[in-house]
C-alpha cells in the first residue's frame, strides 16, 4: 500500500542538513514495513536491526562511537555499511537505550550514515524510564494509521479520489452518484479503520469477520504492551481507561469523566494510566479551550478534555460494533455513531498535524474542533448525517469574527452563509 509518508522520507534522505531520524507511532501502523520498503527502493542496501527480537545486538553499544559500532554491526549482519548508500534501521529502539543515545554521536561523528530508528513505545520508554534522549541531534516524524485518502488509494479508487480533491478546492458539489459512492467508502473506513493489516485484508477478501479478527489481535497486542511496559500497579488501571474510551464517546456529553471508570474514581488515581496510553500513541487527548485566544496552549482547561482512540476500526472492535451496524447505519447504533464520527474526524486532522481543541459556552454552544488554518482560528462542527443545525457555529463566528467556519457532514461540498460544507469523506483535505 502506498503511504504518503514515503515522500517525507525521501525529503529526509535528500536533505543536506539531515540528521538521524526517529519514526514514532503506535504498534501495527506500518512503520517497519514502510521503512524497509523505502530502504529497498531508495538505497543500495538495508541493514535491519530489531532490538526486541535480537537482544544480543545491544552488546555492540558498549561504546557509543560510530567507529566502534559500525564494524561490529557489519560483522554481525555480514553487510558493510556504506555512507549515503546503506540505510541502517534500528527497530524497537526502546528496547536498547544505548542505541537511542548513540544517535547523538552518529549525528556528530558520522552524519553521512543514514539511520532511521523506529519505536512503538518510545514515548513510554523515554518518559517513564528516563532514557537519555538525543535532543537536537535527531529529526522526529510520526506515523499514523492510513487516512481516508490512503484507504481510497489502497482500494484503487483513484478517479473518485481526484474528483473529491477537485471539488474540495473549487467548492463545487461532487456528482451525486460519486457522492454516494464516496459516502459508502467512508462508512466502510469507519468500520475497517486504517491499520494496514486490516485494510489489506479487507481490500483483498472483503470479509468483515476476518477484519474483526485482525483488529482484535491488535487490541490484544496493546493489552500485552500495557502489561509488559508498565508498572504492575498501573496495568489494570491502564486497561480500564483504554477500554472506557468507546463507552464515553457514546454519551451525549463526550467529555472524559473519571467516574465513568468506576464509582468514586478520581483523576489522581488514573492520571498515570491516561498518560501511558497517550504516550503509547494509542489514544489522544483533545482539551477544552477556556478562552479563544492565542497561544491555544495557554488557554486550555486542565481538567476538561475528550479522549479519542488512534483508529476508528479499533474503536469499533473495542465495542463489538459490526459491519452491518456501521455500514448500513443501524438506527440502534446512533448513540455511538456520533462519537465514532468525531473520533474519525480527529484522526484525519491529527494525521495532517493540526493542533486541535474543542470549546463550549455555558455548556450550551459547543464547537467540536478549533484549529488554525492559514493562521486563522477556524471552528469545525461535526455531524454524522445531513440534518444540520449550525447555531453553535453562528454564535462562535459572530463572537470571535472567524473569517469562515467548516461543517463536516454527509452533505455535499458548498459554501453557504460563511459555512464551508465538507463531506465526511473529504476531511483528509483539511490541512
Q: What is the pLDDT of residues 3-14, one digit of tens each?
A: 999 999 999 999
**Which 3-state string (H, E, C) describes 15-64?**
CCCCCCEEEECCCCCCHHHHHHHHHHHHCCEEEEEECCCCHHHHHHHCCC
Instruction: Pick the last residue of a domain from 142, 163, 189.
Output: 142
pLDDT tens digits for range 230-274: 899 999 999 999 999 999 999 988 999 999 999 999 999 999 999
Contact 61, 52 (CB under 8 A): no
Express each pLDDT in 63-103 by its tens digit: 999 999 999 999 999 999 999 999 999 999 989 999 999 99
> Mind listing the pLDDT tens digit for each residue in 367-421?
999 999 999 999 999 999 887 777 888 889 888 889 999 999 999 999 988 999 9
Mean pLDDT value of segment 305-320: 97
- The DSSP 8-state label assigned to residue 294 in this structure reads S
Distance CA 76, CA 232 (A): 36
Grid cell 447505519 is found at 329
- The answer to whether the CB of 47 falls within 8 A of the CB of 60 is no
pTM, to two decimals:
0.95
- What contacts 60, CB < 8 A, 6 or more positions away? 68, 69, 72, 73, 76
Residue 130 pLDDT? 60
Q: Cell 482539551 identifies what position?
A: 287
Q: Is the pLDDT of residue 119 over 90?
A: no
Same domain, residue pair 56 and 37:
yes
Say if CB 310 and CB 283 are below 8 A apart. Answer: yes
Calculate mean pLDDT across residues 308-324: 97
Q: Cell digits for 71?
A: 564494524
Taking the C-alpha atoms of residue 178 and residue 183, their distance in angstroms, rounded to an integer, is 9
Residues 178 and 258 in one domain: yes
297/183 same-domain check? yes
pLDDT value at residue 363: 72
Q: Quick: pLDDT tens for 327-344.
A: 998 988 988 999 999 999
Higher pLDDT, 135 or 106: 106
Q: How crowded is residue 385: how many other Cβ atoms within 10 Å of its Cβ? A: 14
| Backbone φ/ψ region at 263: left (φ over 0), alpha (ψ -120 to 50), beta | beta
Same domain, yes or no, for 174 and 321? yes
Within its chain, how far is the Cα of 190 from the centroid?
Answer: 14
Res. 229: pLDDT tops 90: no
The chain-wide mean pLDDT, for the chain, equals 94
Measured distance CA(175)–CA(163) in Å, rounded: 9
Boundary-marking domain end, from 79, 112, 142: 142
Distance (Å, whole) CA 394 – CA 390: 6
Are residues 172 and 245 both part of a single domain? yes
Question: For position 387, what pLDDT does the model report?
Answer: 72
Which single residue is written with the C-alpha cell 478517479?
159
For the chain, what is the domain count?
2
Distance CA(240)–CA(243), nearest Å, equals 5
Task: With a cut of 80, say whether residue 125 has pLDDT above it.
Answer: no
Q: Are residues 244 and 369 in the same domain?
A: yes
- Exposure of 200 by Cβ count < 10 A (0-12 exposed, 13-18 middle, 19+ buried)? middle
Range of the domain at 339: 148-429
Alpha-carbon distances of 228 from 223, 234, 235, rounded to whole Å: 9, 11, 9
384 CA to centre of own chain = 21
Q: Which residue has the cell 460563511?
A: 418
pLDDT in tens, 135-171: 899 999 999 999 999 999 999 999 999 999 999 999 9
- Give the 3-state secondary structure of residue 229: coil
Cβ–Cβ under 8 Å, residues 420 and 406: yes
Q: How far apart are the first and last CA of the chain?
A: 22
DSSP 135-161: TTSSEEEE--S--HHHHHHHTT-HHHH
Kindly give the interhelix angle for 196-205 and 176-192, rounded to the nearest 10 degrees: 120
295: cis peptide before it, omega within 30°? yes
Q: Is 114 helix (H, G, I), strand (E, B) or coil?
A: strand
On whether both 12 and 104 belong to a single domain, the answer is yes
Does 353 lie in the same domain as 257? yes
pLDDT in tens, 279-298: 999 999 999 999 999 999 99
152 and 192 Cβ atoms separated by less than 8 Å: no
131 pLDDT above the threshold of 90: no
Q: Are residues 109 and 169 in the same domain?
A: no
190 closest CA partner among 294, 314, 105, 85: 314
Contact 18, 110 (CB under 8 A): no
Triad 132, 234, 274: Cα angle to 5°: 75
- One domain, residues 202 and 350: yes
- Structure confidence at residue 223 (pLDDT): 96
| Whether residues 127 and 238 fall in one domain | no
Summarised one tens digit per residue, pLDDT across range 418-430 is: 999 999 999 999 9
**CA dist., res. 60 & res. 49, Å (int):** 12
Instruction: Supply the CATH number for residue 26's domain.
Output: 3.40.50.300
Q: Are strands 376-382 and 365-373 parallel, antiparallel or unpaired?
A: antiparallel
Answer whether residue 218 shows pLDDT above 90: yes
Do 137 and 253 reside in the same domain of the chain? no
Phi, psi of 170 (to 5 degrees): -95, 0
Beta strand pairing call for 365-373 and 21-24: unpaired
Q: Select from 99, 116, 142 the last residue of a domain.
A: 142
Reduced to 3 states, what is the DSSP secondary structure of residue 171? Answer: coil
CA distances for 388 relative to 76, 365, 385, 428, angstroms: 62, 14, 8, 21
Amino acid at each position: 500500500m502506498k503511504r504518503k509518508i514515503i515522500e517525507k522520507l525521501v525529503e529526509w534522505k535528500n536533505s543536506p542538513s539531515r540528521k538521524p531520524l526517529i519514526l514514532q507511532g503506535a504498534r501495527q501502523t506500518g512503520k517497519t514495513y514502510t521503512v524497509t520498503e523505502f530502504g529497498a527502493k531508495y538505497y543500495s542496501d538495508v541493514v535491519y536491526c530489531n532490538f526486541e527480537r535480537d537482544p544480543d545486538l545491544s552488546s555492540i553499544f558498549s561504546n557509543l562511537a560510530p567507529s566502534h559500532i559500525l564494524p561490529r554491526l557489519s560483522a554481525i549482519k555480514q553487510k558493510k555499511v556504506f555512507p549515503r548508500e546503506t540505510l541502517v534501521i534500528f527497530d524497537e529502539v526502546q528496547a536498547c537505550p544505548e542505541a537511542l543515545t548513540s544517535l547523538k554521536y552518529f549525528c556528530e561523528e558520522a552524519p553521512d550514515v543514514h539511520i532511521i530508528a523506529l519505536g512503538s513505545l518510545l514515548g513510554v520508554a523515554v518518559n517513564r524510564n528516563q532514557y537519555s534522549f538525543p535532543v537536537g541531534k535527531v529529526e522526529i516524524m510520526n506515523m499514523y494509521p492510513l487516512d481516508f485518502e490512503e484507504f481510497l488509494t489502497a482500494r484503487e479508487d483513484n478517479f473518485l479520489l481526484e474528483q473529491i480533491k477537485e471539488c474540495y478546492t473549487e467548492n463545487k458539489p461532487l456528482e451525486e452518484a460519486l457522492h454516494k459512492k464516496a459516502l459508502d467508502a467512508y462508512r466502510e473506513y469507519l468500520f475497517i479503520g486504517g491499520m494496514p493489516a486490516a485494510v489489506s485484508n479487507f481490500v483483498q477478501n472483503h470479509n468483515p469477520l476476518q477484519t474483526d479478527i485482525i483488529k482484535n489481535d491488535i487490541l490484544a497486542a496493546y493489552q500485552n504492551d500495557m502489561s509488559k511496559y508498565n508498572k504492575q500497579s498501573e496495568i489494570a488501571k491502564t486497561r480500564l481507561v483504554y477500554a472506557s474510551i468507546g463507552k464515553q464517546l457514546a454519551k451525549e456529553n463526550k467529555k472524559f469523566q473519571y467516574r465513568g471508570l468506576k464509582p468514586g474514581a478520581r483523576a489522581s488515581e488514573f492520571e498515570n494510566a491516561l498518560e501511558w496510553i497517550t504516550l503509547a500513541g494509542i489514544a489522544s487527548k483533545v482539551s477544552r479551550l477556556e478562552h479563544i485566544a492565542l497561544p491555544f496552549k495557554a488557554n486550555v482547561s486542565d481538567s476538561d478534555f475528550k479522549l479519542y482512540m488512534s483508529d476508528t476500526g479499533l474503536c469499533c472492535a473495542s465495542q463489538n460494533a459490526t459491519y452491518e451496524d456501521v455500514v448500513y447505519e443501524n438506527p440502534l447504533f446512533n448513540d455511538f455513531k456520533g462519537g465514532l464520527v468525531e473520533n474519525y474526524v480527529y484522526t484525519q486532522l491529527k494525521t495532517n498535524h493540526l493542533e486541535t481543541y474543542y470549546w463550549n459556552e455555558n455548556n450550551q454552544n459547543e464547537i467540536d474542533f478549533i484549529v488554525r488554518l492559514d493562521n486563522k482560528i477556524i471552528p469545525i462542527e461535526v455531524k454524522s448525517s445531513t440534518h444540520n443545525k449550525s447555531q453553535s457555529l453562528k454564535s462562535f463566528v459572530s463572537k470571535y469574527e472567524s473569517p469562515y467556519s467548516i461543517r463536516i457532514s454527509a452533505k455535499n461540498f458548498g459554501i453557504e452563509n460563511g459555512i464551508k460544507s465538507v463531506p465526511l469523506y473529504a476531511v483528509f483535505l483539511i490541512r
